Structure 1
Amino acid sequence: MKSHPSPISCSPCCPPQKCGTFLHLLRLARLSNKEEKPYFEQNTAAVLAALRTLENLIDSSMQPLLPLIYANTPKKGLLNQLPPHIKESLKQEALQLIAKDMANQQWLKQALARLHDKGIPVILLKGAAFARYLYPQSAPRIGVDIDLLVKEADFQGACELASELAMEPVVLDDRRLATHDMLFERVFKPKNAATSWIEIHRGLTNPFIFHIEEQHLWSASREHPAYGLDSVRVLSPEDTLLHLAVHAFRDLDFCTHNILDAHEAYCQWKPDNEILLERASHWGAKHVLYYLLSNTKAIMDTPIPLSLLSELRPERPRDLLNKKILRMNLTQDYANKPFGYRFIQLVSQISFPDRPSRGIHFQTHYIGTRIKDWLAS
């Protein structure tokens, strides 16, 4: 009989389905704050059972973590306790992902050099920002795509450059041209499939739900140390955590590798908690930051002070509603969302932002844009 991982201490902001295998492996992928030998000694059987699940079809949510898991497994004394075929499978999967990351980095270096020559500064986002900074080249956290933020005035030029670099634009729906024109990001796919898809942003997220001052993002940003170009930036530690939070809200999922990123950013980059609280208040994103950081503390044992979480936490009725939504394990199938998911999405756009009126404003604007789509079709 196969053994199954025992439940890990879980957060009320996670769906119960994730309180087992996924969280054991997520914790195994950590780089910082690793003085927790008793945890792995007490949970050896559960962690090994979680690792054994990797011999089957690997869940897409786990793939970004495989190089880190492979690098950390021997450090915890677990690798030699695995069957040889699982060790080999884990090794091959990790090496393939590392090779993919190297191809992405090669394309990215070329693109950043071209953007620099054109005088277009860039802020790298998410996986692109964390590569060779939070995570080492030998054990990257693989990004789903490559995200670049440019200023509004440089947006068209950056999109044209992507086309010059063997990328072709993706129009998500030919019947929604007005929506496409209003998007805060443009998506490009490689013509030769050698690299990941590219997303070029002119804003961090939809500009209506949260109040994000783009100028402050740039003034607070700092140079990425891996490229030797002052024009290649990363968000400040505080803005990084806030971006992770608003992106998690967009997916209604605060229990993915985003809590690993939040853990590493908090431990390695050491954000100023007072500045973080101030920025979250200004963005109107205290509540979404609360769900990200409370999950991160509960699952990754990150040294986030309870006083900060107390300042971020929404009032009890909204907190209960939001946690109910987050425990639903909502489908992430963007191609075919059921009516129920749409309804929950509408509710969440009002209940999660600090100021519900911004969610209502977004919904009103969205209706107007869809009318324009209909008129243009």
Structure 2
Amino acid sequence: MVVNLIQAIYDSRLPWPDPNDGMFYEQALADIHFFEIGSQVYFLLKQRGLLEQTPLFFQEALKETFTEVLYQNMLIKNQTVQMMEKFEEAGIQMIPLKGVIFAETYFGHIGARWTSDIDLLIKRSDLDKAIQAVKSLGFTYEEECVSTHFHWSFSKSMPGASIPLTVELHWDLLKAGTSQFKIDEVWDQAASLESYTFIQQLSEFHTFYMICLHGWRHHLSSLKYFIDIIQLIYYLKDRVAYSRLLESAAGHKTYKRISRTLRIVYREFPQLEYIVKLPLERRTNLWWDYSAIRDSNNSSLKYYLNYMTFHLMDFDLWKHCVAGIMEWLMPSKAAIGYELGRHDKGNSLVFDYLMLYKKRFFNFFRTIRINKTP
């Protein structure tokens, strides 16, 4: 349901869903809540003058979500600005990733995209100084850092917030041993942000590259990753530069990840061809299915096929595949929290692994049993 709505939001040539079809909008709203894309949908509808063409209950529900996201993002922006000023003062080079700056730049409003954490790209050589800067702002709860991962997380409690706010210090965009991507390319093409000297912003090219990799890393398990990519395509248009992107991905050994991600997005939203033509042949064996991610809590066989494909088949080299499998077996604490669907940071890493393996085992066992039931 909601896919049809998003398609119509972006493409005025498509028929608009009947405002009197309450069942359609109820199902669409359920999908929107499931994928946590209420703020994106609300802002896109309002921006395009389409909000009033939806039922009142739909408008009110989306507005409530948007308001909640707006207040949270304003709080996060305040913390992000403090972080930028602290890094600038300390002479530490830094690039904000995704977050409120991404929402403001590419969506046009701070509340247009839900943000939960602060992600910062730093140089590995500045890690110690960056940690000191982060801790000086109260982010003193430190997660265990796994040497093969590419980020380190620090959290602090916020007044009135039920979960801590986390800052992730990244020194790369991909896990070590899973590609030949060189982070120096990102720094070489970054530009200074506003009036800062040490705070920079990703180039448009690397922003699109990063957002595609981010969607892949999360198995395109939510429509929010689709909307990020779609919004960038509509914003950048011919500046997307697919020839350069695919050539770079081939050199970085991320070609399968980038190409399959884009193929899936274009298959689900074919009107993108009218904005920027995708120079890739169409394939049917993409092993991705909307119903599988929408019903992931039911642990369908399709969900597991989709999930395992991302871990086993999306690497250009076999050694990168092995590294990807090891990451799946021993994910970071943040990735464990994402998979378990919780935000508490107080458990030991060993306990988290036990809970993760328990969930995976019982979910897979239940899936096999359900699919064997006549």
> What TM-score, normalized to structure 1?
0.71
TM-superposed deviation, 1:163: 1.8
Q: What per-residue deviation string (whole Å, max 9, x for no partner) do you get for residues 92-131 of structure 1?
A: 2211211111111111111101101111111222234413
Q: 2:256 matched to 1:256?
A: no
Aligned counterparts of 1:366 and 1:254: Cα–Cα separation in 2: 16
Q: Secondary structure at the match of 2:153?
A: strand
CA distance in 2, matches of 1:197, 1:96: 18
1:272 aligned residue = 241
The whole-number CA distance in structure 1 between the counterparts of 2:182 and 2:42 is 37
Aligned position for 2:18 = 44
Number of equivalences: 326
Judged with a 3 Å threshold, the aligned counterparts in structure 2 of structure 1 residues 170 and 309 are, in CA distance, closer, same or farther, namely: farther
Pairs within 5 Å for 1:1-377: 20-21=1-2, 23-27=3-7, 34=10, 36-41=11-16, 43-45=17-19, 49-53=23-27, 59-63=33-37, 65-66=38-39, 68-70=41-43, 72-73=45-46, 75-79=48-52, 81-83=54-56, 85-137=57-109, 139-171=111-143, 180-192=146-158, 194=161, 196-224=165-193, 227-253=194-220, 256-269=223-236, 270-300=239-269, 301-302=271-272, 303-306=275-278, 308-310=279-281, 320=285, 322-323=286-287, 328-329=292-293, 348-363=310-325
| Comparing 355-364 and 259-268, the one that deviates more | 355-364
Note the residue ranges of structure 2 that are not aligned, 5 or more in a row.
333-348, 351-374
Secondary structure in structure 1 of the residue aligned to 2:178: coil
Is the CA contact (8 Å cut-off) linking 1:66 and 1:90 kept in structure 2?
yes
Q: Residue 149 of structure 1 aligns to a residue in which SS?
A: strand
Q: Is the 8 A contact 2:87 2:199 kept in 1?
A: no
Measure, in 1, the Cα distance between the counterparts of 2:219 and 2:328.
Answer: 18
Q: 1:56 to 1:67 in 2, by over 3 A?
A: same
Equivalent residue letter for 1:258? Y
CA contact (8 A) 1:349 1:360 kept: no
Does the Cα contact within 8 Å between 1:254 and 1:292 map onto a contact in 2?
Answer: no
In the TM superposition, residue 68 of structure 1 has moved relative to its aligned partner by: 4.5
- 8 A Cα contact 2:100 2:115, kept in partner: yes
Question: Unaligned stretches of 5+ in structure 1?
Answer: 1-19, 172-176
Deviation at 1:209, TM superposition (A): 1.3
Q: Write the distance in 2 (CA, Å) between the matches of 1:167 and 1:192.
A: 10
Partner of 1:7: none
Counterpart residue identity of residue 62, structure 1? E
The one of the two structures with greater contact order (alpha-carbon pairs below 8 A, sep at least 6) is 1
Q: TM-score, normalised by structure 2?
A: 0.72
Offset of residue 159 of structure 1: 2.2
CA distance in 2, matches of 1:86, 1:369: 38
- Contact (CA 8 Å) 1:68, 1:139: kept in 2 or not? no
Query: Aligned AA for 2:320?
Result: R
